[in-house]
Amino acid sequence: MRTRPLFAALLLASAAGCAVLPKDHVQFERLADCPRQTAAHLIAQQNQLGPLSDTHALACALTFLRESNDPALRRSSLGSHLCLHLAEREADPKKRDKLAAEGVAFAETALAQGGEKDGAVHYYLATNLGLAVREHITLAMKNLARLETEMKQALALSPDIDHGGPLRILGTLYLKAPAWPNGIGDRDKALELLEKVVAKHPEHPLNHLFYAQALWEEGDEDSLSQVKSEFALGEKLLGEGDWGYSRGPWKKEFDEFEQEMGEAGSGRQQPLAQARK
Partner 1 sequence: MNKTRFLLLASLLASFTATASETLVVCYPGGPVNAKDANGAMSAMLRVVERVGQWQENSFTSVFATKLADCRQQMAEKKPKFAITSLGLYLELRAAHNLLPLVQPKIKGQTSEQYRVVVQKDKFKSLNELKGKTLGGTVLEEPAFIGKIVFAGQYDLANDFVLKPSNQPIRALRGLDKGELDAVILNEQQYGALAALKLENPVEAIFTSEAIPLMGVVADGANTTPEERGRFGKALAGMCSDNEGKKLCDLFGVEAFAVVNPAVFEPMAKLWGGK
Does the footprint of partner 1 cover residue 59 (CB under 8 A)?
no
Q: Is 141 in the site for partner 1 (CB under 8 A)?
A: yes
Give the Å distances, CA to CA, from 100 to 104, 113, 225: 6, 20, 37
Size of the site for partner 1 (CB under 8 A): 25
Q: Which of 29, 35, 67, 181 binds partner 1 (CB under 8 A)?
A: 181
- The Cα–Cα gap between 15 and 75 comes to 33
* Residue (97 or 162) nearer to partner 1, CB: 97
User: Binding partner 1 by CB under 8 A: which of 138, 223, 226, 229?
Assistant: 138
- Cβ at position 11, least distance to partner 1 in Å: 5
Which part of the chain contacts partner 1 (CB under 8 A), choosing from 37-45, 121-129, 133-141, 247-255? 133-141
Q: Indicate whether 103 belongs to the interface with partner 1 (CB under 8 A).
A: no
Q: Which of 12, 73, 212, 233 binds partner 1 (CB under 8 A)?
A: 12
- Closer residue to partner 1 (CB): 26 or 131: 131
Which residue's CB is nearer to partner 1, number 47 or number 182? Answer: 182
| Residue 145 binds partner 1 (CB under 8 A) | no
| Per CB under 8 A, 5 contacts partner 1 | no
Q: What residues from 237 to 266 belong to the interface with partner 1 (CB under 8 A)?
A: 260
Residues contributing to the site for partner 1 (CB under 8 A): 11-17, 19, 137-138, 141-142, 176, 178-183, 185-188, 217, 260
